[in-house]
Structure 1
Amino acid sequence: MAFTLGPYAKSAGYRLATFDQIGSTNSEAMAQARAGERGPMWFVTTEQTAGRGRRHRPWIAPRGNLASSVLETIEVAPAVAATLGFAAGLALEAALRAVAGPASVGFSLKWPNDVLAGQAKLTGILLEAEAIPGKGLAVVVGMGTNVIAAPEGTPTPATSLRAIGVETSAEQLFTALSDSWTECRGIWDGGNGFGEIRRRWLALAAGLGQPVAVHTGNATVSGIFDTIDDTGCMIVRTSTGDRVPISAGDVHFGAAASAGAA
């Protein structure tokens, strides 16, 4: 089965580059942007050999999983572009529901960039941006999904669609994702629609209102996951009543948070 764009993505002008195998779809997309490509364009494969997640952690996609990156050119500030990651989370969740059907495990969104099935990581999102000549940014949003297999020994337990009883293919999931991305990207609208993206994201947020510990470099902030603000920062309400904004970090919920995420 070949990768194909969904009808909504096609009508919106998206293009598609597919690879039998590639090191990193994000790296390829950004290389094309540096060479003058302005998108909107998808780069997809079922086998990625040198992918990466946040903080340069490896994200390797064995054959049958989905590695996908979309290149957009956007005239916004980098801080605004960063909120596009929340639209990506919504798009992935919608695509997963489309292929899984109503009887599947519930999916939720873990701040800042994961989709969970139950308590396990199913997908990861990596957003990268570079200034381009003239105005604007080349923004690449990478989305990796464990379709047939999940890595072992990861900081957060991982799972795959196959492991939770969803039989689909990377190609089927991508078609659904290309359409749901087009919809969510339209809602986001250069950051003008982030209020609606935020509302929808919070409705699916993992751990909202629960104890959380966030590792931010050498410090750990513990408290209750209160909300995300209008810039996408996690707001943690501490035991003293302070509401602390977190822009980046490793998040632990439940028993791990209560134990200081040791």
Structure 2
Amino acid sequence: MTLALGVRAQAAGTRLACFDQLGSTNAEAAARARAGEVGPIWFVTTEQTAGRGRRQRPWIAPRGNLAASLLEVIDVSPGMAATLGFAAGLALESALQAVTAHYIASYAVPLAIDYRLKWPNDVLANGNKLGGILLEAENMADGRLAVVVGIGTNIVAHPTGTPYPATSLHALGLQVSAEQVFAALSDSWTELRGLWDNGRGFAEIRRLWLQRAKGLGEPVSIRTGTTVIEGLFDCIDEAGCLIVRTPEGRRIPIAAGDVHFGSTASAGAS
């Protein structure tokens, strides 16, 4: 198969740059922005050799996995641009739901996969990490932001020995390709990006995200540097911060950190 945009993404005028192999789709997108590209355009490969996750953690995509980055230069504040990551999580979750439903209907396979969104940037399948999102932004000379939304998905393989357990679609019994997932993702992104609407639609994005959130209302532990904050996962606020309700009744907003729920709360960073 060949990587291609979905029908809705094509109709929206989104463009596509495919690579047989690439160091980092996010780095490629950022370099193109500095050279004058304004997007929207996807940079996609099924083999990424030098990708990054949050806090410079490596994100390697062996051949058959999916690494995709969407570049768009937009006129929004950095704080508002950060909320686009929630739309990206919803887009990946929606795409996974679509390809799973199609696979089950096509092959009558009795699969049961529970997809959830883990704050701030992960997509889980049956409780294990399946995909991650890295959103980066850079100021342009005209005052706008070049926003790169990187989305990595484990299709055929997943890392082992990670602090937070990982999985892949093939390990879950879903024998689909990166090409199928990307076509669905490009379409769902088109819908969710439109709903986000440069931040004007974040209230609805937030509502939809909370419906799919992992651990809402459950015990949570957030590690930020050497500090650990524990309580209940109350919600996310209008800025996208995770709100922890402490045993004393305080509501503490968390802008960044490593999250663990329930019995895994005392584990190391994810």
The alignment partner of 1:86 has SS state of helix
Match of 1:61 in 2: 61
Counterparts of 1:56-95 in structure 2, within 5 Å, are 56-95=56-95
Amino acid of the structure 2 residue aligned with 1:136: R
Amino acid of the structure 2 residue aligned with 1:261: A
Counterparts of 1:82-231 in structure 2, within 5 Å, are 82-101=82-101, 103-231=111-239
Amino acid of the structure 2 residue aligned with 1:229: D
Counterpart pick for 1:253 among 257, 261, 268: 261
**1: CA distance, partners of 2:72 / 2:51:** 19
Amino acid of the structure 2 residue aligned with 1:199: R
The alignment partner of 1:202 has SS state of helix
TM-score computed with the length of structure 1 as normaliser: 0.98
How many angstroms does 1:72 deviate by?
Answer: 1.0
How many angstroms does 1:118 deviate by?
Answer: 1.1
**2: CA distance, partners of 1:214 / 1:147:** 28
Q: Is 1:39 the counterpart of 2:47 in the alignment? A: no
**2: CA distance, partners of 1:94 / 1:12:** 18
**2: CA distance, partners of 1:72 / 1:37:** 8
The structure 1 segments of at least 4 consecutive aligned residues displaced by more than 3 Å after TM superposition are: none
Q: Percent identity?
A: 66
**2: CA distance, partners of 1:189 / 1:217:** 33
Amino acid of the structure 2 residue aligned with 1:137: L
**1: CA distance, partners of 2:22 / 2:236:** 35
Match of 1:15 in 2: 15
**2: CA distance, partners of 1:225 / 1:189:** 27
The alignment partner of 2:58 has SS state of coil
The alignment partner of 2:123 has SS state of strand
The alignment partner of 1:59 has SS state of strand
The alignment partner of 2:116 has SS state of strand
**2: CA distance, partners of 1:242 / 1:28:** 43
Q: Which deviations, in whole Å up to 9, do the C-alpha atoms of 1:6-53 show, x marking residues without a partner?
A: 111111110000000000000000000011000000000000000010
- Confirm or deny: 8 A CA contact 1:48 1:62 kept in the other structure: yes
The alignment partner of 2:59 has SS state of coil
How many angstroms does 1:201 deviate by?
Answer: 0.1
Aligned length: 260
How many angstroms does 1:104 deviate by?
Answer: 3.6
Specify every segment of 5 or more residues in structure 1 that has no aligned partner in the other structure, as ranges.
Answer: none
**1: CA distance, partners of 2:201 / 2:267:** 34
The alignment partner of 1:183 has SS state of helix
CA RMSD of aligned residues (A): 0.8
Amino acid of the structure 2 residue aligned with 1:210: E
How many angstroms does 1:68 deviate by?
Answer: 0.3
Amino acid of the structure 2 residue aligned with 1:107: Y
